[in-house]
Each structure stands twice: as structure tokens, then as C-alpha cells.
Amino acid sequence: MDAALSAGAATIAAALLAGAVIGFVLGLIGGGGSILAVPLLIYFVGVGSPHAAIGTAAVAVALNALSGLAGHARAGNVKWPCALVFAATGMIGAALGAEAGKALDGQKLLALFGLLMVGVGIAMLRPRRTGESPDVRLTRASARVLLPRLIPIGLGVGLLAGFFGIGGGFLIVPGLMLATAMPLSIAIGTSLVVVSALGLTTAASYAISGYVDWMLVLWLVLGGVAGSVLGRIAGHHLAARKRLLQTGFALVVSAVGLFVVIQSL
């Protein structure tokens, strides 16, 4: 009995710490932390099934995105029509991607996830270009130009997000900027609508199949709240070195991705 209680306490502590790490990174550099959720759940918390780790991470990612959305919405950083179109098509992609991910062998899925992490790390090393149209709006007049861009990009991002159980913010932000030329600050706020929608879609698919550990979700979110506060404080003090922090995090993501690939194979 004592051993079981000790193991349970250790799991809770590990989940809280994992959530804190994810939240800290999100608060520090403004994104990217969620891609560490699956490796942390498997190699640190001790979740045995890659599918369960992906399903559990998807719920936590969606809840974290929803918690951050309110602030961006109040600041006027959300282009709702663009977000809703991108999210609607992305949810179709996420539903299809989640089914494909569940059908794949767990270790093969984990190896592909590791390769994705390496690719994301490399992509993060490239500087982002800001948009040129801060007043972009989806209206009847602009629909013929914007919809043919928003729909296919949203569908493609949704497929990847659902397949790997990730929020996909690192794909959604450049996707929105490519489709609409909105500035980075607006794209980040708008992306939280999409991250929430894709995360909930993926989470629902995995939950139906019994791949979500709801208690772990609770501890991850609680740890994430504390971590995000510390991350924002640290980010404020290190604002002048944000690019250096992003570069360091990109290298960490790539290294963890290589580790995941090697362990999976």
C-alpha cells in the first residue's frame, strides 16, 4: 500500500513538474512548449502508451490555449472570421488525422513525432517575417482571395495537429500569416482560437477510444498555470534576449526529437 501511494505521489509530482515546464516555456517565449508535452509524459511522467500520451497532451494543450485566448481577445488581437474559417477546416483535418494516428503503431507514431520535433526545431531557427496587412478582414469582398488560402492551409495544419496530437501553433501562426498577411502579434492571438479547436477535436477522438488520462490532465494544467506565471516574469526580465532564448529552445526541441527517434527505433 505504501509503495502504491509513493508511486502515485511520484506520478503527480512528475505531472505537475512537466506541466510547469510546458507553461514556463509558453510564458517565456510565447509558444512551442506544447510540443514537449508528449516526450515529457512518456519519458518523465512514465505514461506507457504513446497514444495515451498524445491524447492526454491534446486535452492539456487545448485548455492552455483557451486560458490564453481571453487576454488576446480583450486586446483585440483576434481576427475572428479568419480564425473560425481556419479552425472549421482544421477540425475536419484534425479528426481525420487523429483517426490515422490511432491506427498507426505507437512506436512508429512516436518516431514520426520525433522527426517532426527536429523539423520544428530547425524551422524555429529561421526568423519570422511580419505581415504587411494589419487591417486584414474576411468580408464578402475579400472572401474570394482569402478563402482559397485559409481553407487548404487550415485543412493541412489540422491533419498534422490531429495525427500528432499537438496544438500546432508553430504551424498555425505562419499559416495564418501566409494566407492573410496579418502581423505576427495578430496571428499569435488568432492562432489560439485554432489551437483550442484542433486540440479539443483531437482530444475528443482520443478520449472516445479511452486514450486520455483525466487525472494527468488536471495535474498538467495546474502545473502549467504556475509555470506560465514564472515564465512571463522571466520573459519580462529577459525580453532583450528573446531571440537568443528562442534559438536555445529550438536546439533543445531538435535534440529531444533526435532522442525520441533513437528511443523509438
Predicted pLDDT of residue 2: 46
Predicted pLDDT of residue 133: 65
Percentage of residues in the chain having pLDDT higher than 90: 39
Predicted pLDDT of residue 192: 86
Instruction: Say what the pTM is.
Output: 0.84
- On the question of pLDDT at 83 being above 90, the answer is yes
- On the question of pLDDT at 232 being above 60, the answer is yes
Predicted pLDDT of residue 30: 59
Contact 8, 45 (CB under 8 A): no
- pLDDT, mean over the chain: 85
Domain spans of the chain?
Answer: 49-214+241-264
Length of the chain equals 265
Confidence bin at 141 (pLDDT 50/70/90): confident
Average pLDDT of the segment spanning 182-194: 85
